[in-house]
Amino acid sequence: MIDDMRKQTQNLTTGAWLRQILLLTIAIALFSGPQIVAAQDGTPHPPTPTEEDPVRIESVRAIVALPTVVSFRVRVTVPHSEVDQVSLTIEQDSGVDQSFELALDDSIFLDFGDEIEYEYNWFPAPEDRLRFFQPLDYRFEVTLNDGTMLTASDSIDVEHQIISDWQSAQTDLVKLYWSDDRSFDGEGQLSDLSEVLALIRRYIDVDTPLQIVVYAPDDRFCQEVPRPITEGTTATPGPPELVVMSDGRPFPCNPDALFMLYRASGFVPLQPAIPDYYTVHRALVDALFAHTYGEHWQDAQVPAWFREGIGALLSLRGRRGALGDVRQAAQIGRLLRLPQMENSPPASWNEDQIALWHNQAYLLTLYLAEIYGADAPFEIAAAIGPQTTFDAALAAISETDIQRLYARWELWLNQPRAEEAAQWNPYLPTTATPTLTRTPSPIPPTRTPRPTVTISLTPTREPLYNPTTPPAPTIALPTRRPTTSPTPLPPGYFDTPTAVTDSGGVGDDDSSNGLCGTGIGVLILPVIGLLMARRKRNQSTR
């Protein structure tokens, strides 16, 4: 009995403790529930108004309406008449750092009587140093008539809002952003670009990072909106207005301004017209080339054909079909002259002329590699700088000038070795062959008293290829005609009778024997007659 009572007492005590713990848990959940939901929501919640704090900044907001505008807004829970001043400060790390004071009457966006919302539209310029793909911090300060100051701040990522989800990939020196993950192989393009950069870094130092942003061909930055017709006039409105729609309202749009902002931010903006992989790859290589060699050359004068040729050599694909097009132009006498290659093609040229210019530039640079060695074009490019001209760098490698080089290049075009060289690019290995070595000349070369060596078409460095078939044997031709010496004939050779075969029906005749019956007699008798006639003439003269 005592044991049963003791067990019941323990059960009651345990049940009471459980009920108290349950009630305490429910109370905690009810008290902390709204705060947990607000934290998980992730959206900022303004403080709940109280009678002690009726005046506050209700909200702040920023809208990146690129390519032209970034809009900032602040809402205050006071009438407009009680606001004395509103200022805005925007800043980035190593970027924009500016402050603005709003014109109150002109900045009203919404007026609810007891609440007022102001807007400031910022039109960034290249010199403002706006940095893309970085947070932009902004802070509003609102000063009331009674001296009360209210502040609120937030940040927003600076990205072109036309793209909902930017993709990116990067290496140590290249960072790539792209707008369309469906048709753009960003990872593959970055891998190929890394190979190009590795080749460039074999010859020049590259330490400055490169950032490239690539848009899809069908990305449109602006929309055309018809201009309104002014009432009471018959004049036709002007051209459509370019706007960008953001947050349900139009903002001014200038696509050229966006690319200027990108360049000022340290980006290279690209929008290839064709989404083909190799077309985009060549555009990326051109951007990398301008970034690396442009910084290395600075203001040095470099012929346009050499700039184009080096860029084409760096491309993984080169220029297929270039040799056939240039050979055809040479056959019909339409090959471009050297002065036409010194500068970029003018706008007045047609597509065929421009394509021929690009192909000639590529083959002329390839010729340098085929004749003077695979490294020759890149060594020339590395030697060019503020103190070294292209002509001096070329002379140090080839010991010739560009006029002679161009003339020999025209002869090279029709040689079989040009077809072999056209299949090569700098990413393919070259076959080592024993070649003659020479002492390189300083840059710029110095004159010496010895005669200048005439450069022949024989490679002085490692050629780009070795013939795969053995050369045909050479037949030595005689250098002079052989001379014959007369051999004395035996005595009585001319008196030896020649046997005559019986011809049948013809009798023996003394005229067929002796001197007249021989072939020699036929030749000697006229000579004897001539001598006798000359003797008679001399006698008659006497």
pLDDT tens column, 17-44: 555 555 555 545 444 443 333 333 333 4
3-state secondary structure of 403: helix
pLDDT of 141 above 80: yes
Angle at 102 (CA atoms; ends 100, 108), nearest 5 degrees: 145
Mean pLDDT across 391-409: 92
Q: Does residue 87 form part of some domain?
A: yes
The total number of structural domains in the chain stands at 2
For every residue of 130-152, DSSP letters joined together read --TTSEEEEEEEEEETTS-EEEE
Residue ending a domain, choose from 122, 157, 192: 157
Q: How far apart are CA 151 and CA 138, in angstroms?
A: 11
- What tokens were used for 266? 């340290």
With a pLDDT cut of 90, the percent of the chain lying above it is 50
Domain edge (last residue) among 135, 157, 179: 157
Confirm whether 20 is domain-assigned: no
Residue 326, SS3 per DSSP: helix
Say what angle helices 304-314 and 376-383 make with each other, to 10 degrees. Answer: 130
Mean pLDDT of 383-405: 91
Question: Is residue 39 a part of any domain in this protein?
Answer: no
Question: In this structure, is residue 27 part of a structural domain?
Answer: no
Largest Cα separation within the chain, whole Å, is 198
Task: Supply the pLDDT for residue 126.
Answer: 92
Question: How much is the pLDDT for 377?
Answer: 95
- Residue 240 in any domain: the answer is no
SS3 call for 34: helix
**How many DSSP H helices and E strands does the chain contain?**
13, 15
The answer as to whether 189 is a domain residue is no
Alpha-carbon distance of 155 to 139, in angstroms, equals 9
Residue with tokens 């001209």: 389
- The rounded distance, in Å, linking the Cα atoms of 241 and 238 is 8
Which domain-ending residue is among 157, 180, 205?
157
Domain that holds residue 381: 298-446+456-464
Q: Six-digit token pair at 333?
A: 């006498």
| Mean of the per-residue pLDDT values of the chain | 77
Residue 325: Cβ within 10 Å count: 17
Answer for the pair 356, 325: CB distance below 8 angstroms, yes or no.
yes
What's the CATH number where 136 sits? 2.60.40.10
**Whole-number Å distance between alpha carbons of 404 and 452:** 14
For residue 444, say if its preceding peptide bond is cis, omega within 30 degrees of 0. yes
DSSP 116: E
Tell me the average pLDDT across 522-533.
Answer: 58
Domain for residue 242, yes or no? Answer: no
The reply to whether 96 falls in a domain is: yes
- pLDDT average, residue stretch 155-184: 86
> Tell me: the pLDDT tens digits for 61-91?
999 998 899 999 999 999 999 999 999 999 9
